[in-house]
Amino acid sequence: MAIIAPSLLAANFATLAEEVRDIEQGGADWLHLDVMDGKFVPNITFGPLVVEALRPRTSLFMDVHLMIEKPEAYVDAFVDAGADGVTVHVEACAHLHRTIQTIKARGVKAGVALNPATPAEWVRPVLADIDLVLVMTVNPGFGGQAFIPSTLKKIAALREWIREDGLDGRVAIQVDGGIAQGTARLVTEAGASVLVAGSSVFGVRDRAKAMAELRADAAL
């Protein structure tokens, strides 16, 4: 069964705790938190304070997606705030392996994200060291963008390498951006198992129904 991770980016920021309760009661598996610094991506969102404020309000796995420069400098702050998993962008890390070690040393799940134009090969040397590869299916920075179909080949290549390297069940493939009914089917057919969904879940009134429809669409 696919893991559904609604992205807080599309929630109502005036009532964040209620929004999180709504998706938790509606059947979400994880909560995806998009951290943007206005440098790595052309948008600014929030930092560890929001993660810390929401931590006592939910038992969902808090999946922190760092779209920031020098993410290694902020791993401790997000783990201290309550993150269960920290994902960094390969394009933002000069010493990717060391950054992964820093995350793992804190006892949380480590993820590495790839922008749509970044080749899958960039993550292959560290595949055995991580828990999750995040394939960006839109250019990071904003919610509500259209899914980029060329990312499907990248998902399929990663699925194949995970199998070849004996990492099935240890390394998950997550997708983020433009995931809705239709694209959920395409990405899961290609090999993804963790679906981040912002607009298609938080952007509608009945979140439970939206998540159930995503699960039904997913080929898992």
Ligand X SMILES: O=C(CO)[C@H](O)[C@H](O)COP(=O)(O)O
34 touching Co ion, by CB under 5 A: yes
User: Of 124-132, 156-164, 169-177, 202-210, which segment contacts Co ion by CB under 5 A?
Assistant: 169-177
Closest separation between CB of residue 88 and Co ion, Å? Answer: 12
145 touching ligand X, by CB under 6 A: yes
User: Of 68-76, 84-92, 155-163, 173-181, which segment contacts Co ion by CB under 5 A?
Assistant: 173-181
Residue type, 64: V
Return the residues of window 161-200 that contact ligand X according to CB under 6 A: 176-179, 196-200
48 touching ligand X, by CB under 6 A: no
From ligand X, Co ion, none, interface partner of 211 (C-beta below 5 to 8 A by class): none
Closest separation between CB of residue 32 and ligand X, Å? Answer: 6
63 touching Co ion, by CB under 5 A: no
Closest separation between CB of residue 166 and ligand X, Å? Answer: 30
In whole angstroms, what is the distance from residue 120 CA to residue 141 CA? Answer: 20
In whole angstroms, what is the distance from residue 204 CA to residue 206 CA? Answer: 6
Is 142 annotated as ligand-binding? yes
217 touching Co ion, by CB under 5 A: no
29 touching Co ion, by CB under 5 A: no
Q: In what order do the strands lie in the sheet with 3-6?
A: 3-6, 194-197, 172-176, 132-136, 109-114, 85-89, 61-67, 30-36
Binder among 87, 140, 151, 207 for ligand X (CB under 6 A): 140
Active site residues: 34, 176
Closest separation between CB of residue 163 and Co ion, Å? Answer: 25
What does the per-residue mask of binding to ligand X show for 119-138, with x meaning CB under 6 A?
Answer: -------------------x
| φ and ψ at residue 132, rounded to 5 degrees | -155, 140
Using CB under 6 A as the criterion, which residues of the chain lie in contact with ligand X when the complex forms?
7, 9-10, 32, 34, 65, 67, 138, 140-141, 143-145, 176-179, 196-200
